[in-house]
Amino acid sequence: MKVLVTGGAGFIGSHLVDRLVQEGHEVVVVDNLSTGKRRNLNRSARFYKLDIQSARLARVFRNERPSLVMHLAAQMDVRRSVEDPVFDAQVNILGMLNLLEQAVRHGTRKVVFSSSGGAIYGEQEHFPAPESHATQPLSPYGISKLSGEQYLAYYQRVSGIQFVSLRYANVYGPRQDPEGEAGVVAIFIQKLLSGEQPIINGNGRQTRDFVFVDDVVEANLAVMGKEVQGTYNVGTSQETSVNDLFVILKDLTTSGCKEVHGPAKQGEQVRSVIDAAKLRQELGWEPRVSLQEGLSRTVEFFRGQG
């Protein structure tokens, strides 16, 4: 199958491209390299350095005519979305609309969209949150991801294009950018390995559902089938506090850093954990990499970068 992956030079996207190539698919990557890295690109994939907002995206679809689009390109920094909601909307809403217009015009059969389990639900009322949980995003980023899901449903109704929205929990793993994407795992590991002092926001009791990038890739592969449509959570259904995460990473890095707390970040969710039972029951997917193993593999990756 010919698959177009937007954001295919990024953290999650590059792992997905590698796996698609391994499975024998013909892969096309679109990435503007604003946060993605050229070194992450798979040599077997055809690469277009391009922004998803660009009018030149039409040429890519005209030349390649992918049957499946996996859309991971995004403005994914919650704090930046708060500081600049217009930029967030330009990338995450207008960029996606450009992509969907081209997909429909050029006969793409299906779009798999990388959405957000944490940001879309907001402060949860149920733990873990199922797909039916109320969507009450607290940030422009969450609003733009929810808008993306709703546009997909609209295009499905009017054009018949199939779609899947995957609501990711907190994804971590090798290649995560400790600078650009603001993932707490990557930030802590980089600081602990370099002897810098990580700062825990607030009391550190805020919890997250940490899911390893390889498990997220397998979820994407699981929903590629023709008959699969709808919205699925992708997480572990397990809560881990930032304090507990720090203790595990301190041990794995053998760092002498102490546990230091700073001011709480305004608007940060207190608890975030999602229920992936639907994906497990319907498609047999489940997270296979434990937090301890995933963090260990991620630390070893960052060690190798030093």
Predicted pLDDT of residue 248: 98
Predicted pLDDT of residue 180: 57
Query: Which residues pair with residue 30 across a beta bridge?
Result: 6, 48
* Domain 2-169+212-234 homologous superfamily, CATH: NAD(P)-binding Rossmann-like Domain (3.40.50.720)
Class for the domain spanning 172-208+238-273+289-305: alpha beta
Q: Which ranges of the chain have pLDDT less than 50?
A: none
Compute how many other C-beta atoms are within 10 angstroms of the C-beta atom of residue 7: 26
Predicted pLDDT of residue 94: 98
pTM greater than 0.85: yes
CA distances from 17 to 27, 59, 82, 197, 250 (A): 7, 21, 30, 34, 31
Backbone dihedral region of 186: left (phi > 0), alpha (psi from -120 to 50 degrees) or beta? alpha
Q: Per residue in 202-214, pLDDT tens?
A: 999 999 999 999 9
Q: Per residue in 44-60, pLDDT tens?
A: 999 999 999 999 999 99
Predicted pLDDT of residue 226: 78
Nearest to 242 by CA among 200, 209, 275: 200
How far is 170 from 181, CA to CA, in rounded Å? 11
Beta pairing, strands 230-234 & 26-31? unpaired
* Positions marked catalytic: 141
The mean pLDDT value of the chain amounts to: 96
What residue ranges of the chain are covered by domains with CATH 3.90.25.10? 172-208+238-273+289-305
Terminal Cα distance for the chain, rounded: 38
What residue ranges of the chain are covered by domains with CATH 3.40.50.720? 2-169+212-234
